[in-house]
Structure 1
Amino acid sequence: MKKIVVFLLSLLMGTLAFGERIALIGAMDSEIELLKKDIKNIKSEKIGEIEYFQGKLEGKDIVLLKTGVGKVNAAIGANTVIREYKVDKIVFTGVAGAIDNSLNIADIVVSEDLVQHDVDLTAFGRPAGLIPGQETVEFKADEKLKKVAYDSAVKVLGKDKVKIGRIATGDQFIASKDKVNWIGKTFNASAVEMEGAVVAQVAKTYGVPFVVLRAMSDKADGSATMVYEEFEILAADNSAKIVKEMLKNM
């Protein structure tokens, strides 16, 4: 009888592990193409304006999608992949602008947490970034996913190229040094981009663990000299390697 119980438990655990599905999300083509080409048994489905690719990557069941740029696009993609594909975890990857001056071009920031810097109800006595109905400004990344992301990035790039920090999101391309400084001072953020915190908010709403990885496309002091096209190729290659390494350890 004991052997039968152990067998049934093992079978159940195997079924649960097999059934886990991971969403891999980017905002632009370059952020998903290198992953898409390696998906086994790939099939796709278009819902609205977003195409969702299902299959196996590094032995894991995944759903890969490009949301498009900006908060609304990111929210649509995150909401749909959770509700339609029942994903258990979310990994968002892409590029960002560096706020922390210690970061260099192509360095990786793994999200400690994320904030929405363009939410402003300070006229009503609320802190900058606080969304009505939320208790805190920040959306915290899952601790286990954060560790897997950090360890994987360090393995691929080396410890001096990886930082765990706060990522700020807003529907603005930040080109002003004054604005960069304001976001850094107000939110203690390491990097700024246009999607991550919204994916985090949607994931929190549904109780889905998440983490965001961002490769730095430029330095806050304007000293980066790499041509963007060169950076885009490098960032895409590094991000794909890191995500694949993560999948091996999830």
Structure 2
Amino acid sequence: MKKLTLLLTLLTSTLSLADRIAIIGAMDSEIKILLSQMKNIEQEEKASVVFYKGKLENKDVVVFKSGIGKVNAAMSTTIAMEEYDVNKIIFTGVAGAINNNLNITDVVVSDYLVQHDYDTTVFGTKKGAVPGSVDAKFSADKNLINIAKNSAEKVLGKDKVYVGTIATGDQFIADKKTVQALESEFGAWAVEMEGAAVAHVANLYKTPVVVIRSMSDKADGSAHMNYNDFVNIAADNSAKIVINMLSQM
């Protein structure tokens, strides 16, 4: 009986150590290609978020739409960490370009992420200095950064792929003054609404994370027009990069 108990304990321990990668998008368009290629899908709903557990590129994954904004992103990422034994996190999706070198459909792979709308500067802190961040930023995993960069270059070509800081806030940025402020204050290359919240949770759980953003628009006065035209193309490109990443992992 003791031998059987020990065997079951070892088996349970081994299963809990199996790699499972969380792949997150904020919108349906950002995960549709991934879902179409998944196998052995098991579907569960928790806190109004549908989690799809299965195989993608022969890897154990859980894919889900977080919903838009930092609260949705943090909540759903936390559920994934607690319920699905996730040990790596990839966020895929679209963003607004800040750096002038970027063109629409170019890709930025995160090295750092910052919550640009977190402001306690009245107390003498740096803007974006969320408790738990280091120098106001959350870091992405170096190994995942390299895999994401290599995959993006294979999918799109080297001239369309950059590594840099991604800024996150609960706003759709659509004016040049704010774009200039985000670049000067944070050195941001792109801006979106979820990534730094996901990185915040990942860093607290000490789990490797990377955010991959394809530019759907220039985050300026033309943003709303560019976004409608290019959001699906950009989202598809980002998802294809994730699939290529999985084949290398």
TM-score higher than 0.5 here? yes
Q: Match for residue 239 of structure 1?
A: 238
Partner residue in 2 for 1:4: none
The CA deviation at 1:221 is 5.6
One-letter amino acid matched to 1:125: G
For the structure 1 residues 173 and 227, does the alpha-carbon distance in structure 2 shift closer, same or farther, using more than 3 Å as the test?
closer
Give me the whole-angstrom Cα distance separating, in 2, the residues matched to 1:71 and 1:160: 31
Q: Within 5 A, what are the aligned runs for 1:8-157?
A: 19-157=18-156
CA shift at 1:235, angstroms? 1.5
Task: Give the counterpart letter for 1:59 in structure 2.
Answer: N
Give TM-score, length-normalised by structure 1: 0.90
Aligned-pair Cα RMSD in Å: 2.0
Q: Which residue of 2 aligns with 1:175?
A: 174
Verify: 1:158 aligned to 2:157, yes or no.
yes
Residues 34-57 of structure 1: CA deviation (Å, up to 9, x unaligned): 100111011100001100001100
* 1:193-224 Cα distance to aligned partner (Å, 9 max, x none): 00000000000011110000001111246578
Residue 190 (structure 1) aligned with residue 182 (structure 2): no
Residue 190 of structure 1 aligns to a residue whose secondary structure is: strand
User: What is the aligned residue count?
Assistant: 237
Superposition deviation, residue 232 in structure 1: 2.4
Identity %: 57
Rounded to whole Å, the distance in 1 between the matches of 2:237 and 2:133 is 34
Secondary structure of 1:19 counterpart? coil
CA distance in 1, matches of 2:226, 2:178: 23
Partner in structure 2 of residue 213 of structure 1? 212
Unpaired segments of 5 or more residues in structure 1?
Answer: 1-11
Give the alignment's TM-score, normalised by structure 2. Answer: 0.90
Shift of 1:107: 0.4
SS of residue paired to 1:207: coil
CA–CA distance in structure 2, aligned partners of residues 224 and 72 of structure 1: 23
Q: Deviations over 1:5-30 (max 9, x none)?
A: xxxxxxx9xx6898210000000000
CA separation in 1, counterparts of 2:32 and 2:145? Answer: 23
C-alpha distance 19-133 of structure 1, shift in aligned 2 (>3 A):
closer
CA shift, 1:240, in A, is: 2.1
Distance 2:239 2:131 in 1: 36
Within 1, Cα distance between the matches of 2:153 and 2:243?
Answer: 13
